[in-house]
């Protein structure tokens, strides 16, 4: 029946030549509609993207809008979404509508697929649109099929293209460097192009994160205004292009960075692009972030609805300088602290070239005899005895030139023939385009899990970008496939791990936050946002990543960075995410040790609200010397408020902080908790209405001061 309707539409569209015979294709969430229409020539247009109209019939009255997925070589003069070089050398593609399907994937999730084809060349393009009704999130990707008898080359192959027609556009980007990730800056766009991209390959987002906020008509505000927050699920080179044309329209093109990545499609072959995920919020950046957090926990993040383990990591406590005895001591400290897991970091492996520094050993995944005479087994046994889980650091995609792996398998390594190797952090990247290398990387995890089934967690690191870009595997013809095939190879390995060890939690790390995207987070339960654990820096870094990722996925550890900040301040910053420690308990004063333990138990009480509740950024650290973040659970029964005074000015005026996410009609008991050396303090009982309109005087004039408030409905 459905097929018949489509066929009929097609006949009408092409048979009569009458404009708009195919009814508008409306792809809706509970709040937003994306409307596509087909013109009399069969070309597909994006007619609308915005707040859902009450009356669907009115979409037919809308002006047509620009072509939805613009191609190179035809009538358009700006950046295209697609550029195909056909087998005969013709570089142009014309796409016309051939049909569409729409179906429910599950309750509240629908998928629409629009098929377009070139009437002259046998190139077919399928635009996929998955709409998540309640979360108000869309996921878009594209499939490109070569129907010609000979290979074609795709030069540009966007996941998605969207068009806007607003008075003004404001783009917020998130850029930085190692230990300085995800800094926000906003700029007004004007005629021309703004590009956010990377060509770092593996550690793809060391300089710029794969997400952005696009505010329409006016600059983005926290809880007001129309903002599109978008991100690409791709653990490699990405590119977002924002181009405003001479008429003031803006186009957004999101996808793999086509830089040095022309891809040849054999006869019949289909290229599937990564997913571009976005939400369109009418309640500012804050609502956009909550939409994405809800979507991630429910539909995307690995174990999104599951629990997370608190931990003690040894990296900053010992660096490479540990042995069995020290680690056993730390496992005891993990137990004493009351965390769920002990995580052994870098420096435990390498036989011929023991990994006692970052200069050697990477690639040789057997224990260093001197340090661990009884192997990992002795450590998992000790952890078991102490009642804590055991986690292990690996960096299986990489190799130090000083390693047995390098000596044996030079052909597995990405290096340029005839040139001196360039080493980033003294290491090189393995060629994951090669299936043999994929097998090897899988075997690192599988081998460890087989030998030590009590390993309960991996921290998977990736400290180098792709350098010396040349693959022995791709051969002369397909060097430009490497950036794409690398990521596909990585997913192949991760798929195998997920299939064999479905419940194994893993942390994604890349010299801090150099890798963080929603495709990787289908395999990883969490990521390490930054090696910078100075709590003041972390206030900014966590604020940045929280614009997109739920805090459940953001590891936050207490360390000794910035000793001028109290242990309480450092702990309170870390409690706002997936809480852990990377510190030696034995080096602390007794009162500090006690406070660490108390904080774990406070966190265990509050964590369901923090990790699964709605996050409200009440006062941004970017706005001055104070910041406040609140988490409210979905039932509005419980909330937690974290407040921080950074470097307040003497005699400054401090206004109240108004809360959000409560029920105006209910009354709440507010307690200050997690106080060092003191019991909880009753602040008072207030209506939700009062707290959300009048607020509380939570900030102080003290420097580097933090407070935690527990808010419970009566
Ligand atoms: C990276 C990570 C750190 C640590 C070191 C170990 O820098 O981000 O957390 O694991 O590697 O070498």
Work out the average pLDDT over 114-125. Answer: 97
CA distances from 69 to 44, 95, 196, 306, 609 (A): 8, 8, 20, 38, 42
CA of 502 to the centre of ligand 1 (A): 25
Query: What are 421-458's pLDDT values in tens digits?
Result: 999 999 999 999 999 999 999 999 999 999 999 999 99
CA 511 to ligand 1 center in whole angstroms = 5
Q: Which of 397, 458, 526, 531 to mutate to test the pocket of ligand 1 (most atoms within 8 A of CB)?
A: 531
User: Does the C-beta of 315 come closer than 6 Å to ligand 1?
Assistant: yes
CB 460 near ligand 1, within 6 Å = no
Q: How far apart are CA 220 and CA 284, in angstroms?
A: 6
The verdict on the CB of residue 345 being under 6 Å from ligand 1 is yes
* pLDDT over 60 at 4, yes or no: no
User: Ligand 1 centroid to 461 CA: how many Å?
Assistant: 7
- pLDDT of 641: 99
Point out the least confidently predicted range of 16-30, 121-135, 300-314, 695-709.
16-30
pLDDT for 21 equals 77
User: What's the 530 CA to ligand 1 centre distance in angstroms?
Assistant: 9
Output the residue whose Cα is nearest ligand 1's atom 7.
Answer: 511
Cβ–ligand 1 contact at 537 (below 6 Å): no
Please compute the mean of the pLDDT values over residues 647-659 and round it to a whole number: 95
Ligand 1 centroid vs 680 CA: distance in angstroms? 37
Given this model, what pLDDT does residue 513 score?
94
Which residue has 């602390």 as its token pair? Answer: 588
> Which of 356, 461, 464, 524 to mutate to test ligand 1, by most ligand atoms within 8 A of the CB atom?
461
Cα distance between residue 706 and residue 644, in whole Å: 4
**Confidence check: pLDDT of 3 > 60:** no
Cβ–ligand 1 distance for 398 under 6 Å, the answer: no
- Per-residue pLDDT, 2: 39
Tell the residue nearest (CA) to atom 1 of ligand 1: 511
Distance from the CA of 657 to the center of ligand 1, in angstroms?
37
Residue holding tokens 């990564």? 274
What is the per-residue pLDDT across 234-268, written as a single tens digit (0 to 9) for each? Answer: 999 999 999 999 999 999 999 999 999 999 999 99
pLDDT for the residue 284 = 98
Nearest protein Cα to ligand 1, atom 2:
511
d(CA 646, CA 469): 44
Per-residue pLDDT for 5 more than 50? no
Q: For a pLDDT cut of 90, what percent of the chain falls above it?
A: 97
Q: Which of 189, 182, 272 is CA-nearest to residue 228?
A: 189
Please give the pLDDT value at position 15. Answer: 38
Count Cβ neighbours within 10 Å for each residue of 669-695 and write b for 16 or more, e otherwise: ebbbbbbbeeeeeebeebbbebbbeeb
Cα separation, 94 vs 88, in Å, equals 15
Residue 490 Cα to ligand 1 middle (Å): 20
Does 511 sit in the ligand 1 pocket, CB within 6 Å?
Answer: yes
CA of 321 to the centre of ligand 1 (A): 14
What pLDDT is recorded for position 14? 43
Mean pLDDT of the chain: 96
Token readout for 354 is: 């023991």
Centre of ligand 1 from the C-alpha of residue 513, in Å? 10
When pLDDT is cut at 50, 70 and 90, the band that residue 511 belongs to is: very high
Residue from 312, 345, 555 whose mutation best tests the ligand 1 pocket (most atoms within 8 A of CB): 345
Cβ burial 250-273 (10 Å sphere, 16+ → b, else e): bbbbbbbbbeebbbbbeeeeebeb
Partnered with residue 34 across adjacent β-strands are 27, 49
Q: What is the pLDDT of residues 205-240, one digit of tens each?
A: 999 999 999 999 999 899 999 999 999 999 999 999
Testing ligand 1's pocket by substitution, the residue of 315, 348, 532, 561 carrying the most ligand atoms inside 8 A of its CB is 315
**Per-residue DSSP letter, 274:** P
Mean pLDDT to the nearest integer, 612-618: 98
Contact at 8 Å (CB) between 131 and 28? Answer: yes
- Ligand 1 atom with the smallest distance to the CA of 531 is 8
Q: 257 near 195, Cβ under 8 Å?
A: no
CA 426 to centroid of ligand 1, rounded, Å: 14
Q: What is the band of 171 on the pLDDT scale with cuts at 50, 70, 90?
A: very high
Give, in order, the Cα–Cα distances in Å from 172 to each of 51, 143, 190, 227, 620.
21, 29, 14, 10, 15
Q: Which atom of ligand 1 is closest in space to residue 509's alpha carbon?
A: 8
Is residue 106 pLDDT above 70, yes or no? Answer: yes
**Residue 329: pLDDT over 70:** yes
* Rounded-to-10 torsion of CA 231, 232, 238, 240: -50
User: Looking at the predicted structure, is the pLDDT value of residue 124 above 80?
Assistant: yes
| 509 CB near ligand 1 (under 6 Å) | yes
458 lines ligand 1 (CB under 6 A): no
**What mean pLDDT comes out for the span 23-44?**
97
The number of residues in the chain equals 714
Q: Assess whether the C-beta atom of 531 lies below 6 angstroms from ligand 1.
A: yes
Phi and psi, residue 516, nearest 5°: -160, 105
| Tens digits of residue pLDDT in 273-285 | 999 999 999 999 9
Neighbours of 426 (CB within 10 A): 16
**Cα(713) to centroid(ligand 1), Å:** 42
Q: How far does CA 314 lie from the centroid of its chain?
A: 25
Token look-up 């806007």 returns: 164
Give the pLDDT confidence score for residue 22 in this predicted structure: 87
Q: Is 463 in the pocket of ligand 1 (CB under 6 A)?
A: yes
R_g of the chain computed on alpha carbons = 27
Segment 45-101, tens digit of pLDDT: 999 999 999 998 999 999 999 999 999 999 999 999 999 999 999 999 999 999 999
Q: Which atom of ligand 1 is found nearest the CA of 358?
A: 12
Give yes or no for residue 661 CB within 6 A of ligand 1. no
pTM confidence score: 0.96
Q: How far is the CA of 451 from the centre of ligand 1 (A)?
A: 24
Q: Look at ligand 1, atom 6, and give the residue with the nearest C-alpha.
A: 346
Evaluate: CB of 512 within 6 angstroms of ligand 1: yes
CA of 353 to the centre of ligand 1 (A): 19
Token readout for 507 is: 């942390």
Q: What percent of the chain is helix, strand and coil (3-state, nearest 5)?
A: 25, 35, 40
């Amino acid at each position: 029946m459905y097929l018949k309707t489509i066929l009929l539409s097609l006949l009408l569209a092409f048979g009569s030549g009458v404009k708009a015979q195919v009814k508008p294709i409306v792809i809706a969430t509970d709040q937003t509609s994306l409307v596509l229409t087909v013109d009399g020539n069969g070309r597909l247009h994006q007619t609308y993207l915005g707040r859902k109209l009450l009356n669907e019939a009115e979409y037919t009255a809308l002006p047509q809008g620009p072509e939805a997925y613009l191609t190179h070589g035809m009538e358009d003069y700006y950046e295209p979404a697609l550029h195909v070089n056909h087998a005969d050398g013709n570089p142009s593609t014309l796409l016309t509508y051939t049909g569409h399907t729409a179906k429910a994937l599950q309750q509240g999730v629908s998928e629409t697929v629009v098929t377009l084809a070139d009437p002259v060349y046998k190139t077919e393009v399928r635009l996929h649109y998955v709409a998540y009704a309640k979360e108000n999130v869309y996921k878009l990707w594209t499939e490109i099929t070569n129907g010609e008898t000979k290979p074609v080359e795709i030069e540009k192959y966007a996941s998605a293209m969207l068009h806007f027609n607003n008075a003004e556009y404001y783009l917020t980007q998130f850029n930085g460097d190692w230990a300085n990730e995800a800094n926000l800056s906003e700029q007004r766009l004007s005629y021309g192009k703004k590009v956010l991209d990377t060509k770092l390959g593996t550690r793809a987002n060391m300089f710029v994160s794969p997400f952005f906020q696009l505010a329409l008509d006016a600059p983005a505000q926290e809880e007001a205004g129309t903002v599109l927050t978008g991100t690409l699920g791709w653990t490699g080179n990405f590119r977002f292009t924002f181009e405003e044309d001479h008429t003031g329209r803006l186009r957004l093109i999101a996808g793999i960075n086509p830089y040095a990545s022309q891809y040849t499609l054999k006869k019949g072959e289909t290229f599937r692009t990564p997913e571009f995920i976005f939400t369109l919020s009418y309640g500012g950046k804050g609502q956009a972030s909550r939409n994405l957090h809800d979507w991630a926990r429910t539909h995307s993040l690995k174990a999104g609805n599951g629990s997370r383990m608190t931990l003690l990591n040894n990296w900053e406590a010992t660096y490479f300088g540990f042995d069995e005895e020290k680690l056993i001591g730390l496992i005891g400290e993990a137990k004493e602290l009351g965390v769920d897991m002990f995580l052994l970091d870098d420096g435990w492996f390498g036989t011929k070239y023991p990994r006692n520094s970052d200069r050697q050993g990477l690639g040789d995944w057997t224990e260093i005899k001197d340090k661990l005479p009884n192997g990992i087994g002795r450590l998992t046994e000790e952890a078991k005895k102490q009642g804590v889980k055991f986690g292990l650091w690996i960096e299986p995609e990489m190799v130090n030139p000083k390693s047995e792996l390098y000596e044996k398998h030079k052909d597995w390594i990405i290096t340029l023939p005839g040139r001196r190797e360039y080493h980033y952090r003294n290491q090189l990247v393995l060629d994951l385009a090669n299936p043999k290398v994929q097998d090897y990387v899988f075997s690192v995890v599988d081998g460890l899990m087989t030998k030590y089934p009590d390993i309960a967690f991996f921290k998977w690191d990736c400290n180098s970008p792709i350098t010396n870009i040349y693959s022995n595997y791709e051969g002369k013809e397909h060097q430009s496939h490497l950036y794409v095939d690398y990521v596909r190879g990585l997913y192949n390995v991760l798929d195998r791990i997920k299939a064999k060890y479905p419940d194994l939690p893993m942390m994604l790390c890349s010299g801090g936050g150099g890798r963080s995207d929603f495709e990787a987070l289908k395999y990883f339960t969490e990521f390490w946002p930054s090696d910078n654990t100075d709590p003041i820096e972390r206030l900014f870094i966590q604020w940045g990543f929280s614009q997109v990722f739920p805090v459940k996925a953001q590891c936050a550890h207490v360390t000794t960075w910035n000793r001028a900040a109290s242990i309480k301040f450092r702990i309170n910053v870390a409690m706002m995410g997936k809480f852990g420690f990377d510190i030696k308990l034995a080096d602390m004063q007794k009162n500090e040790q006690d406070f660490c333990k108390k904080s774990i138990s406070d966190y265990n009480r509050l964590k369901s609200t923090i990790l699964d509740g709605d996050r409200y950024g009440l006062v941004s650290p970017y706005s001055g010397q104070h910041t406040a973040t609140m988490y409210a659970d979905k039932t509005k029964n419980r909330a937690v408020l974290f407040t921080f005074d950074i470097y307040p000015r003497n005699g400054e005026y401090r206004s109240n902080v108004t809360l959000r996410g409560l029920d105006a009609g209910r009354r709440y008991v507010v307690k200050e908790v997690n106080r060092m050396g003191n019991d909880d303090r009753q602040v008072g009982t207030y209506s939700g209405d009062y707290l959300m309109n009048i607020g509380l005087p939570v900030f102080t004039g003290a420097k580097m001061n933090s407070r935690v408030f527990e808010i419970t409905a009566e």
